[in-house]
Structure 1
């Protein structure tokens, strides 16, 4: 779930400098969502230590509105993940395994 996304993120950032950060605001928001999915007990909690460190580092150069959006996205996603069942739970697990794979793998590799 993390390796593919991280590889894509790394390639897209190789030639693009985004202020003081290595990811776009959209990618930062996606990583925030992935953090919530990874932290959900209902989905099977994963180690989020490195992803949280990545988000903390990346938030430094962000506009306040982006940081607020990321926090709101985390809270809403965590709420959905913690209460999901059946097809909704399967959909969130699939997202965590695909879209989030890159963020989880990349943040662990960065340590």
Structure 2
């Protein structure tokens, strides 16, 4: 991204933040809360849905386990890798739900090459 385009985007974001009364501290607090939520997550599916393992299981966990997938398949190990900014798509060869309605991917999550 060139410098002029970046400056234009920054100016636009600052103007919109001022219009909506959003302070930089609000954004920092929101990012911190999101990171804390992700750290608390113990399970994650391919679409990025997370669950901390407490309380009632969310629908995506119920559907996956009802279809025969083990809960340990979704266990988060280590720290999540930062997004590279480029979607790699979906490797259906390794997806146990390929061909089922559980394997559906939303169009906005698929990179168009």
TM over 0.5: no
Which structure has the higher relative contact order (CA within 8 Å, separation 6+)? 1
TM-score range, shorter chain: under 0.3
Question: Under a length normalisation based on structure 2, what TM-score does the superposition of the two structures give?
Answer: 0.26
TM-score, length-scaled by structure 1: 0.26
Structure showing greater Rg: 2
Name the one with the larger helix percent.
1
